[in-house]
Structure 1
């Protein structure tokens, strides 16, 4: 494995079925006061390679774009364990078809307009319910990604004690992107939808991040080549990883100021978890 560049922060755009064409992307960097310097973008085209990387000794705070928990309402309705670790161990040993069947049956028994159960963080974050198995398949992202974090022994504030030098937080790039772009779309995996308007939106988003024009109060520091790479990646995967990097930097800053929960709300549900930088309940 190649030597790693120096970094203390990471942002992860996660895929539950990574390939060379659609890899997991890590944005590595470090914070200098209110500046966040992007060091490198690193792709992984298999879950195994990503898991091996996570398990290495390190000293970082990371924002990961995948859910870290399921809605309490869903877990109770299915009769699953309501302690987080036991629930996740149960969940990881299910197959995707079992997950889809049980979640679909739960939805089928509910009224139109309220099919899915939500976590408390979904409203403030504007995130999809973590039980969704399509568009986007975040239930499968949880199923594929969370076991890698557990097996790597990292620390999950508010949920699970692990190595305090490797800290993983649930992030959501859409939360920060919407603050800048409102309803404008900036990415698509469909080539036919990789339009000039989305290119302009990525330029606007990168420009706003460099100027520190978000409520996080952090400015992104890029080289010219890095800026070009983020703008030209029409899938948005690299930019999403960088948005998660900034959320991790905000959390690291809170911890440096004495917050043991890295900016997560003290009253968070220890089964559901919370998206970092989402407004507190």
Structure 2
């Protein structure tokens, strides 16, 4: 199979080779939270790919970021899809006068407090016309993802604020962005990309108890059935045990299912040159696994 490495492009970026053959490579999907708790943990879904089949092997949950960091610092190999943004929009960084180098921009972002960032985000939005308040990365539209500068509903800006420094400190290679351990490779994922390809606009999860309805339960069942049968744009088939299937369906918050969707994105990316990054992708902004290969909502 082809490795992640590809000839340099104008966009630059780091694309190391895979640490082992695809069939032997442990794969990881991560549903991230910037403030995990017992009620809302970070969920890790581990699996392997053999041809078009992705077998779910284990689920791990972490109630605190330090224990997650310790887990991700352990020796690999693995390739993971992480549900958090890895970069800010180029236009936002230009407006702020921040460095246009990914490592420098992310270091400054990490050391800036959330109140300061929120004020800067709000000022940027206030100066823009209605309907164009947020800056977007090139990959956001094709993926149907929220802008990485969004600090509420969902607070993906805080997920990046917590998650990117954690990955860098753990010594992980952020594919396309920063060198680390070549046996531990992280790519940006977004579970909504595959979920919407199967369900359209149907909602399958909610953190609010009152919104955990029978309709959302049916949607989770339909989504899991489709993933098992390979009825999604990449044709990958999810292999589950009966207990695993129940776990995915019964988690009304959708965290476990989201981790598995990220696992499937990692499995797709592992089989693609450059981890699925287009040749002209911007290494400052980053790229979401599979963006542009699935019809946007």
TM superposition score normalised by structure 1 = 0.94
2:93 matched to 1:75?
yes
How far off its partner does 1:178 sit?
0.2
Contact 1:28 / 1:41 at 8 angstroms: preserved in 2? yes
How far off its partner does 1:264 sit?
1.1
Contact 1:14 / 1:25 at 8 angstroms: preserved in 2? yes
Contact 2:26 / 2:77 at 8 angstroms: preserved in 1? yes
Match of 1:279 in 2: 292
Number of aligned residues = 270
Give SS of 2:123's match: helix
1:109-188 equivalences in 2 (<5 Å):
109-188=127-206
- Taking the aligned partners of 2:132 and 2:106, their CA distance within structure 1 comes to 24
List, as ranges, runs of 4+ consecutive aligned residues in structure 1 with deviation greater than 2 Å.
none
Match of 1:239 in 2: 257
Match of 1:24 in 2: 42
Give SS of 2:192's match: helix
**Higher mean Cα deviation, 127-136 or 51-60?**
51-60
How far off its partner does 1:7 sit?
6.9
Match of 2:7 in 1: none
Contact 2:81 / 2:265 at 8 angstroms: preserved in 1? yes
Higher relative contact order (CA 8 A, sep 6+): 2
Give SS of 1:120's match: coil
- Taking the aligned partners of 1:245 and 1:179, their CA distance within structure 2 comes to 16
1:172-251 equivalences in 2 (<5 Å):
172-251=190-269
How far off its partner does 1:86 sit?
0.3
What CA deviation, in whole Å up to 9, does each residue of 1:171-206 have, x standing for no partner? 000000000000000000000000000000000000
Match of 1:35 in 2: 53
Match of 1:3 in 2: none
1:45-60 equivalences in 2 (<5 Å):
45-60=63-78
What CA deviation, in whole Å up to 9, does each residue of 1:18-67 have, x standing for no partner? 00110000001111111101011100000111111111111001000000
Gaps of 5+ in 1: 1-5
Gaps of 5+ in 2: 1-23
Give SS of 1:183's match: coil
Contact 1:71 / 1:118 at 8 angstroms: preserved in 2? yes
Contact 1:61 / 1:166 at 8 angstroms: preserved in 2? yes
Contact 1:7 / 1:39 at 8 angstroms: preserved in 2? no
Match of 2:11 in 1: none
Contact 1:186 / 1:236 at 8 angstroms: preserved in 2? yes
**Higher mean Cα deviation, 177-186 or 46-55?**
46-55
